[in-house]
Amino acid sequence: MSAVSQNERPFIPVGIAVLTVSDSRILQTDTSGAYLCARIEEAGHRLCDRKIVPDDVQKIRDQVVHWSKDPAIDVIITTGGTGFTGRDVTPDALEPLFDKKMDGFSAIFHQISFANIGTSTIQSRATAGMLNQTFIFVLPGSGGACRDAWNGILAQQLDYRHRPCNFVEIMPRLDEHLKRKNK
């Protein structure tokens, strides 16, 4: 009998990149990006890259498209630029690029956020989708929002062991992950 019973699944680390969208943050002041990176590594995933870009549609698109074509990156998490001010353009930059939009992410994110901050959650345009077989999660820039998204959704959905289903088991690159694990 194998070390993993038939009812258990092995943990499969996925490659994740974190993009902070901000005109004012630098690595030393990017607490939301740092939080996400720490959670990614603590969970056992691979932090493939981390960058900060300004609130500029083309720069956001260029970075996300570049990462979406990297076979080592399965997931991109952005933080920042989801509000309603003039410089908040992350959803506007990325949603037109999505091959498929993940409406359920926004709905569940707002449900979790509502429990913590009430009606203020409507000030976020958090969204998610897929581009080039890469999952993209577009989070607000606040630390609380990143915690809500990670703890309430992403930690479970990026864990192959989570039942009844999770994003890892439907990743087009799953076979590659299983092969890497066996090397």
- In degrees, rounded to 5, the angle at the alpha carbon of residue 70 between the alpha carbons of residues 9 and 141 is 80
The per-residue pLDDT string of the chain (183 residues; one tens digit each, 9 = 90 and over) reads 345 444 688 999 999 999 999 999 999 999 999 999 999 999 999 999 999 999 999 999 999 999 999 999 999 999 999 999 989 999 999 999 999 999 999 999 999 999 999 999 999 999 999 999 999 999 999 999 999 999 999 999 999 999 999 999 988 655 555 554 544
Token pair in block for residue 11? 């943990």
Specify the amino acid at residue 49: D
User: Which domains are present in the chain?
Assistant: 15-181 (3.40.980.10)
**Structure tokens belonging to residue 130:** 């897929």
Query: Which uninterrupted H or E stretch holds 155?
Result: helix 155-157
DSSP secondary structure letters along 60-124: HHHHHHHHHT-TT--EEEEES--SSSTT--HHHHHGGG-SEE-HHHHHHHHHHHHHHHGGGGGG-
Q: Give DSSP secondary structure letters for 25-72.
A: --GGG-HHHHHHHHHHHHHT-EEEEEEEE-S-HHHHHHHHHHHHT-TT
- Please check whether residue 25 is in contact with residue 37, taking contact to mean a CB–CB distance below 8 angstroms: no
pTM of the predicted model as reported, rounded to 2 decimal places: 0.91
Specify the pLDDT at position 8.
Answer: 86
The pLDDT value given to residue 135: 97
